[in-house]
Structure 1
């Protein structure tokens, strides 16, 4: 009941600017009604409702919108110095499953959002990461060129290390006697 009354009052107050009087009418059962016409019945109690003046002001002027504004963070083109520290160039990975570790040094430290991407034989290996160590597994036998790229969060290549070549020895077949 109170919600309906509040709704009615708000609705009527929005129209009150053009109206001269609003009446609150209470019938014999205690039901309250608001109206813009004075009650005809003498059994109903009525009183005029005084509404405050509605504050009407002009809206602020419309600003011209510039659609060419780019709110994205500008990319800093930092020239990172990236060096593969392990394994050294021309290293031979001994017989086994083709697993080895790779580590690098980066100077200066990576900015927020920039990551390192390992490149194996010209193709990305794994996902870009913020750490400078990788564990490679099950690398096929043969010569492999490794390099590291510093990439921005949008994927732009910022810097790249000099490549390092490793040779992986793996048996091609298992022979049983």
Structure 2
């Protein structure tokens, strides 16, 4: 038992220490860190498999802080001014001027974007006025949103309906008949349709 205790103590020595063994005069196996007599033999010791708490020797990595995104700005009010909700627009070319407003005013880096039936009508911009052309006859929905510099939607209005009536030239003439002075002046009164003026019957005698 004593010999095994000695072995454990010697194995606990640093890896650089040497261990020797020999058999003494009484026939006992002896382990020591001293070379001793010529019969002593060196005992090979396996390299320690203990790992360093910090094997790379580098300082612990500090996780990079996630860049905090700027919180969204809140507008007290955003709405479509023109046309009014459920308005009826009469225009033969399907043209419409849309005007929007916000409170407070547009912030730095923000842009207005108008949507017609859920689709953007143009790239976001600073102007609150949007000219639209060639809108199909029928009912449509308008909404406006504010986009920040990161492309995020800051505010958006609910859909606002309007109705486009595109009157034909013939219908315009029916509503407001052409007079002789209107031909060549109103689109629905072209010169080619101007009737010939009646000659004064009294001029035939001169």
- Would you tell me which structure has more helix in proportion to its own residues? 2
Which of these two proteins has the greater Rg computed from alpha carbons? Answer: 2
Distance 2:66 2:70 in 1: 15
Superposition RMSD in Å: 2.8
Q: How far apart are 1:95 and its partner, in Å? A: 3.3
Deviations 1:119-156 (A, max 9, x none): 11011111111121111111111111001011112221
Unmatched 5+ stretches in structure 2: 1-58, 172-192, 194-206
Q: TM-score, normalised by structure 2?
A: 0.48
| Distance change >3 Å, CA 140–CA 172, structure 1 → 2 | farther
Runs (4+) of structure 1 exceeding 6 A deviation are: 172-175
Deviations 1:12-52 (A, max 9, x none): xxxxxxxxxxxxxxxxxxxxxxxxxxxxxxxxxxxxxxxxx
Q: What are the equivalent positions in structure 2 for 1:53-68 lying under 5 Å apart?
A: 67-68=64-65
Matched, 1:131 2:127: yes
Matched, 1:76 2:71: yes
- Would you tell me which structure has more strand in proportion to its own residues? 1
Deviations 1:54-113 (A, max 9, x none): xxxxxxxx9x7754452x8x4331222101111101111113111110111101122211
Distance 2:91 2:107 in 1: 39
Secondary structure of the residue that 1:109 maps to in structure 2?
coil
Residue 164 of structure 1 corresponds to which residue in structure 2?
A: 160
Q: TM-score, normalised by structure 1?
A: 0.55
